[in-house]
Structure 1
């Protein structure tokens, strides 16, 4: 197939259909009519001699050929976007750029509200999209230019990525003020183990850190867990009304206490080794002025100095 004979705009249509699973939504995203998108899809089908997308109850489902094409097409589009933007200065006051941030629901609750509040005052046209992904998924999508920044306690992603420490996190115990332990400023390990608990088990390294901490304290298999929750949604009400204890990251607990006056948090009754929350990005966007603006904004909002800190940002080894 001769690349010179292909309209490169067809690849934008292909990407939009793949992302939205809809000809109509793809047209909305690209500012094209439904008939124009359908015509572009027809041309793509002729070029690749494959249906590419098949209508179903779940929308336009990609064929195996389309699944093989999407990664190189998205990587190529990302490279073209970077080439077009190369040397162009990011102007937050007038930009309408969309930044995609890989972050779990803890980070979305704790960090995104402040980021959005400040960014809206500086860059009113800029948009943000949070992405819930595993470390492997986030790394791959950053490599392909589909995610700008990753926030969290992930380990360094590899030699082609940069990382920057933001702050150290720890764990505290959250409870209702009406619970038997709710009036205390500190609790003992025996009280902790005698109480009933809700175990918050999100995907990612935050949960691994907590499991390791509880294991070192000899509490991992001794807690009386009544409820195991995969998401933070609803945890505030559960803790406030059930009398259960919740062991959670300190900043998440702080946000929960701020939202309800009937909640109270205390230090964990065992040793907690602080763990780092970092932002990471791929080297291909290291010099990108928009990505640099976002990194500097996040660093300015959330960075807390540590005696262990040396360089403000490092390239992974």
Structure 2
């Protein structure tokens, strides 16, 4: 199949149906009638000799073949669109665009308020959608274009995923005021034996598995007792304020999440490496002026957190 005999608009239709998962929404996005979109889909099916999408109720579910080509299709459309721009300069005040960011609650709370203030002042046409993403899905999300950027701890990813360290933090331990097992003197820190003798809260979106602090303990052949596993640090801070459970979490977010509870803060009683946060984006967006601008904002704001 030679590109000279291919209508490139068909790939725009393919991407829209894949993104929206619905013919009606895809037609609205492209400002085309549903019959026009259905005709384009029929041409695509004939061209690839594959159904491409299977209807389930009102949803259009992509076939394995569609899933296998969508990343390349989106990258090609993006590069083609960039090449057609007569002015490659970026004007924040004139740009209208939505970015999808992969953020955990830690980063949502620490970075989004100031990011949105900056966007309102410098680029009011830019909007942000923050989503929680499994680490195993980061590479696929960035490659497909479903995610523009992700803030996460260091993880191994393919070479087409670019990354930059944007901040460093450390672990601290929260306990309620007047906890019976904590040191009575304010200038005496929590020791390791006392830490291990207590019951703990672990914050994680996963049903099982260890937290970062548990990996650090395991290196020394140590384990702690997890009595509660919950999804959000704010909820965990409240639990700590009303129980004898301890919570281990990043220091910068603790300053915010713990503000109204005034739990005691101690250093994590084990020498550990600092917690790095990395910003990830796909290589195809590396030279995109709007993407570059937003990366710069995130980098500057993350530097201010520490």
Q: How does 1:1-317 map to 2 (within 5 A)?
A: 1-57=1-57, 59-85=59-85, 88-135=88-135, 137-143=137-143, 145-155=145-155, 157=157, 162-177=162-177, 179-180=179-180, 185=186, 186-202=189-205, 209-216=212-219, 218-219=221-222, 221=223, 223-232=224-233, 234-258=235-259, 260-303=260-303
Partners of 1:58 and 1:125 lie apart in 2 by 32
Alpha-carbon offset, residue 17 of structure 1 = 1.6
Partners of 1:78 and 1:271 lie apart in 2 by 46
In structure 1, list runs of 5 or more residues that go unmatched: 307-317
Partners of 2:33 and 2:243 lie apart in 1 by 53
Partners of 2:103 and 2:297 lie apart in 1 by 16
Partners of 1:201 and 1:136 lie apart in 2 by 15
Alpha carbons of 1:176 and 1:74: their partners in 2 closer, same or farther (altered >3 Å)? same
Equivalent residue of 1:111, what SS?
helix
Alpha carbons of 1:51 and 1:13: their partners in 2 closer, same or farther (altered >3 Å)? same
Equivalent residue of 2:93, what SS?
coil
Question: CA deviation digits over 1:62-107, x for unaligned, max 9?
Answer: 2233233323222222222332348522211121122233333332
TM-score w.r.t. length of structure 1: 0.79
Alpha-carbon offset, residue 233 of structure 1 = 6.7
In structure 2, list runs of 5 or more residues that go unmatched: none
Contact preservation (8 Å) 2:237, 2:247: no
TM-score w.r.t. length of structure 2: 0.82
Partners of 1:132 and 1:47 lie apart in 2 by 36
Query: Which has the larger displacement, 263-272 or 143-152?
Result: 143-152
Equivalent residue of 2:258, what SS?
helix
RMSD over aligned Cα atoms: 3.3
Contact preservation (8 Å) 2:75, 2:284: no
Alpha carbons of 1:81 and 1:265: their partners in 2 closer, same or farther (altered >3 Å)? farther
Alpha carbons of 1:70 and 1:282: their partners in 2 closer, same or farther (altered >3 Å)? closer
Equivalent residue of 1:273, what SS?
coil
